[in-house]
Structure 1
Amino acid sequence: MLREVEQRWPDYRQVPYGLYPFPDPETVFVPEQAELIEHLQPFFGIDLSVVNPEWSGYLTMLGPMEPTEHQFVGQATEETSWHSPLLHTNWIGFKVEEGRYRLMGDPRYFFLHADNQHLADPYVEARASLLEMYADQKAAYEAAKKLYQNSGRLFSPSALAENIPLYDVERMTFVEQIGGVADYLKFPISGLSLSYVENEEHGVTTGYPRSPAGHLFHHVASVPAHHYQSWGADLIMMFYEPVEQLVLFTFYWEAREDEGYAGY
């Protein structure tokens, strides 16, 4: 009975099988895009065979260091030509090449990219606010990583960065969901098409993002951003498309009291 309960409601405060927290950042991106580590933090690696026995290899869950509060990932460069079908507001896509990620679009998508210094602030004090946010995100991530390496546990990164006594710091789960289907109602607005599949046995409809070539993206894992850094999306969802070996991240935001809506 206990084993059945553990399988149905796993305690993700313990590192689950096939998940590897805080992977080596130098192994994430293709060499010519190594600078992406300045904008995206690697939360964990995951063995794809845990999700689907027919898959092999590893993927890395990433957390973007942007945006600032009341903004969205990629929103600061919406008025540029840096966005693309798999790289636009609240969606980031990669091609997997020999286990590493290649961004499916222009790296200048990230407002603080070195080649964007000429861009005017898209909102008040955008650049200064993002620089401060990046510093906070990195500090919180490193604090959580250091304590994990010493204890094997994951604690609230923002609390650790603020030097709150450990007995008052909340333990975090390493992941919220592995495999299964994602809640398509949490998908932000996108130019990508969605495919809906109804389970004949249970009558439940599930939604899948579809690649520009028409292939389905399947859910791999989801986790709130604040489990590994100081702030970010309420849920980061990672998907995999095995035909072209594409990885897609999307970012869900809870409804905000001052704006009255969720997502984008």
Structure 2
Amino acid sequence: MTTREEIKELNDHLQAFPKAEDIFVKEQQWLKNHFLPLMSIDLAEITPEWAGQKVYMICPFEPYDGYIGNNTTEYHNEYTAPNWLAFRLTDDNKFEFLGKEGYFWRTAIHNWDFNSEMEKEFQKMQQFYEKYKANFDKYGALVNLQNPERKGKLNKKNYLERLGGEIEYGNWSSSIERKEYPKAFEMKIQYGKGDEEAVFDISYQGNPFYLVAETGAYDWVGSGGYIIMLYEPVSRIVLFTFDY
């Protein structure tokens, strides 16, 4: 599968700022409290065989520091681990979270303090997101907040850093090396002479995952690292991890 980088233009398969209520199954609308919706991606962009299957690039509020899921290990299951979480794509293109609500620290389950300094940082993310969305509505592009125009042209940011292609080595890979990934999946790294030659084998019940996209959270919410989304088409599982 070919890789395209620095995606600054949309098309019928790539849409920005989808509605959160259109992403998650009706039984799990509480997920809107944990993610900001960035893009919808029709998987025809990856391969024509997947046309009509639509996945969503989403940005979690957590973590404040460390990894998402670090503080909630008693609520993990075989589909979740620190820095890993999974959804199943339903037949009507909704995300069904395969973990437990307690995976998220920012809940009443964990007596989250919604007046805390950490919460204030998450609210800043929300505010940045709303500003970017307002600029998108105004300019029809994801643009720099401080300088939306430069020399008479839009100062565009990337919707996605990468679309399709091979999975690349990064800080996120350390959890595979330590075997600290969700146990429903098999994950291996075969190394060449350098990190850039690392080959990933990530699968579910023998079926491989493929890279859908990567994006920089900071381009959407003003902070954070890379969001990495993988897809396994047989089970229709969408797997997320994060590179900080």
Q: Same fold (TM over 0.5)?
A: yes
CA RMSD in angstroms, aligned pairs only? 2.7
Aligned twin of 2:156: 171
Give distance in 2, aligned partners of 1:210 and 1:36.
25
What's the secondary structure of 1:176's corresponding residue?
strand
Can you list the C-alpha shifts for 1:63-110, whole angstroms capped at 9, x where unaligned? 101111x422222323xx211222111111001112111111101111
Indicate the larger mover: 100-109 or 180-189. 180-189
- Secondary structure at the counterpart of residue 208 of structure 2: coil
Structure 1 residue 197 displacement after superposition: 7.5
TM-score, normalised relative to structure 1: 0.76
- Note if contact 1:188-1:251 (Cα within 8 Å) is conserved in structure 2: no
**Contact preservation (8 Å) 2:6, 2:162:** no
Q: CA deviation at 1:225?
A: 0.7
Q: Which residue of structure 1 aligns with residue 194 of structure 2?
A: none
CA distance in 1, matches of 2:35, 2:66: 17
Tell me the equivalent position of 2:207: 215
| Contact 2:3/2:164, CA 8 A, preserved across alignment | no
- Kept after mapping to 2: 8 A contact 1:90/1:188: no
Provide closer, same or farther for how the CA distance between residues 46 and 140 of structure 1 changes in structure 2, counting only shifts above 3 A. Answer: same
- The separation in 2 between residues aligned to 1:42 and 1:237, in whole angstroms, is 14
Contact 2:188–2:201 under 8 Å retained in 1: yes
Which amino acid in 1 is paired with 2:76?
A: H
Aligned to 1:24: 19
Q: Secondary structure at the match of 2:24?
A: coil
- When residues 184 and 86 of structure 1 are mapped into structure 2, their CA distance, relative to the original with a 3 A threshold, is farther
Equivalence for 1:251: 242
How many Å separate the matches in 2 of 1:102 and 1:166? 36
Structure scoring higher RCO (CA < 8 A, sep ≥ 6) equals 2
Structure 2 Cα separation of the partners of residues 8 and 75 of structure 1: 32
Distance 1:115 1:9, change over 3 A: closer
Match of 2:82 among 75, 80, 89: 89
**Where does residue 112 of structure 1 map in the other structure?**
106
Q: Give, in whole Å, the separation in 2 of the partners of 1:205 and 1:71.
A: 25
Residues 10 and 65 (structure 1), Cα distance of their counterparts in 2 relative to 1, 3 Å cut: closer
Q: Residues 113-169 of structure 1: CA distance to partner in whole angstroms, max 9, x if unpaired?
A: 23221x7xxxxx99823311221111111110111011012124xxx4xxx464589
Which of residues 226, 229, 246 in structure 1 aligns to 2:221? 229
| Unaligned segments of structure 1, at least 5 residues | 1-6, 120-124, 199-203, 254-264
Does residue 47 (structure 1) correspond to residue 37 (structure 2)? The answer is: no
- What runs of 5+ residues in structure 2 fail to find an aligned partner? 192-196
What amino acid does structure 2 have at the position aligned with 1:226?
Y
Q: Which residue of 2 aligns with 1:152?
A: 140
Distance of 1:205 and 1:180 partners within structure 2: 14
Scaled by the length of structure 2, the TM-score of the pair is 0.82
Distance 1:53 1:139, change over 3 A: same
Deviation of the 1:195 alpha carbon? 4.2
- For 2:10, the equivalent position in structure 1 comes to 15
Aligned identity (percent) is: 26
User: Alignment partner of 1:228: what SS?
Assistant: helix
The separation in 2 between residues aligned to 1:238 and 1:59, in whole angstroms, is 9
Q: Which of 55, 70, 74 is the equivalent residue of 1:59?
A: 55
Q: Which structure dedicates a bigger proportion of its chain to strand?
A: 2
Which of the residues 189, 199, 209 maps onto 1:206?
199
Distance in structure 2 (CA, Å) of the matches to 1:45 and 1:14:
13
Alpha-carbon distance in structure 2 between the residues aligned to 1:88 and 1:220: 20
Match of 1:131 among 112, 115, 119: 119
Instruction: Report if the CA contact (8 A) 2:4-2:164 is conserved.
Output: no
